Amino acid sequence: MNSSAKLTPLHDRHLAAGARMVDFAGWDMPVNYGSQIEEHHAVRRDAGMFDVSHMLALDLSGAGAMPFLRRLLANDVLKLQTSGKALYSCMLNEAGGVIDDLIVYFISASEYRLVVNAGTADKDVAWMRKQIAAGGDNVTLESRRDLAMIAVQGPNAIERASRAIPELNTARGLPPPFSAVRLSDLFIARTGYTGEDGLEITVPAHRAADMWDALVAAGVKPCGLGARDTLRLEAGMNLYGQDMGEEVSPLDAGLSWTVDLRDDERDFIGRSALEAHGERKAFLGLVLEDKGVLRAHMKVVTPHGDGETTSGSFSPTLERSIGFARLPTGTQAGQAVQVEVRGKPLAARTVKLPFVRNGKILID
């Protein structure tokens, strides 16, 4: 381990469980606790959990919070009308590139919780502070490194989590999908990154290990970043830095549905660039028909021209290789293509995302 590596409040638990640790964006994180594929299946079939404390929670508050977020984010927080409701959005630069993708939770019009990626956290905070200085009146931003986050995911996640967290069994304990509730010092969201039902539990750092132990006792299987990656890939969810980044428009990364252009008056950062360029690439799933494994940055040959894979791996649910690709516009789902895998052209076809949702395979 690099001596300057950052450790989450659950680091000791990972070591005690015999996790294989890797560096992830400067954090010493578990990639698996044995078998990545078993962890993947645990989430699809039962319940697994991930330490996602390396991600950063930010509290944005003040009378100016709503207008500030309407300018900062490509999705429109005005959609959020019920306390606890969540929204997925990209935060763009002026050129329309993606600085980060994040989840924003609406507490009230003057109080929001944002959760941003680990690798981009410092950059995000700097960008937000710059925007606040440039005209975010009555806005306060607070980094919450005092919090830990545990994502419990899978068809039995809620039932098992309810055994560990009795408050979930109360009348307003369980939040509806894509919403969060505050239960004493916990912030519990019905969100995730796996395509399964589940909860993302934010807990004060000093109570994180106890929470982890209680979830283990309730039968939730610890899962590493390896399974997290194959689960999100099957679920058709983008990974920042891989499927999109500062040089990529959300319109070219399959994220048009998160860009809200309906309010003509809303001048969010990056809007004029997006409107000037429009969609320049098609973003689709790939299923490898031949034997082999797709990885990022492989050349994809289509009848409309060449494209490139942005993510790829072996799908434990489909038992074959899948990936995402940025392809020439006009490429549709169901197109036979060739992917250059280690120097050899292999047969693949394009599919609509996602591949898997709630345990079910959604492609042929």
Partner 1 sequence: MSNIPADLKYTKSHEWIRQESDGTLTIGVTDHAQEALGDIVFLELPEEGRSVEAGDACAVIESVKAASDIYAPVAGEIVAFNQAAVDAPESVNSDAYAAWLFRIKPAGEVSGLLDAAGYEAEIA
Nearest distance from residue 293's CB to partner 1, in Å? 4
The footprint of partner 1 on residues 22-51 (CB under 8 A) is 31-32, 35-37
Contact 315, 322 (CB under 8 A): yes
- Per rule CB under 8 A, is residue 317 in the interface with partner 1? no
Among 3, 262, 342, 364, which residue interacts with partner 1 (rule: CB under 8 A)? 342
- Rounded CA-CA distance 327/148 in Å is 38
- Rounded CA-CA distance 148/61 in Å is 20
- Per rule CB under 8 A, is residue 230 in the interface with partner 1? yes
Q: Cβ closer to partner 1: 76 or 229?
A: 229
The footprint of partner 1 on residues 189-228 (CB under 8 A) is 226
- Per rule CB under 8 A, is residue 292 in the interface with partner 1? yes
Among 117, 156, 313, 317, which residue interacts with partner 1 (rule: CB under 8 A)? 313
Nearest distance from residue 300's CB to partner 1, in Å? 17
Torsion sign over Cα 269, 95, 257, 58: negative
Residue 179 DSSP label: B
Q: What is the DSSP string of 35-87?
A: -HHHHHHHHHHS-EEEE-TTSEEEEEESTTHHHHHHHHBSS-GGG--STTBEE
- Rounded CA-CA distance 292/336 in Å is 17
Among 7, 17, 125, 293, which residue interacts with partner 1 (rule: CB under 8 A)? 293
- Rounded CA-CA distance 187/184 in Å is 8
The site that binds partner 1 (CB under 8 A) totals a number of residues, namely 17
Name the one range near partner 1 by CB under 8 A: 89-97, 145-153, 236-244, 286-294. 286-294
Q: Cβ closer to partner 1: 53 or 230?
A: 230
Q: What is the DSSP string of 271-283?
A: HHHHHHH---EEE
The answer, yes or no, to whether the previous bond of 155 is cis (omega within 30 of 0) is no
Q: Cβ closer to partner 1: 102 or 341?
A: 341
The answer to whether 200 is annotated as binding is yes
Binding site for partner 1 (CB under 8 A): 20, 31-32, 35-37, 226, 230, 291-293, 295, 313-314, 316, 321, 342
Q: Residues comprising the binding site?
A: 200
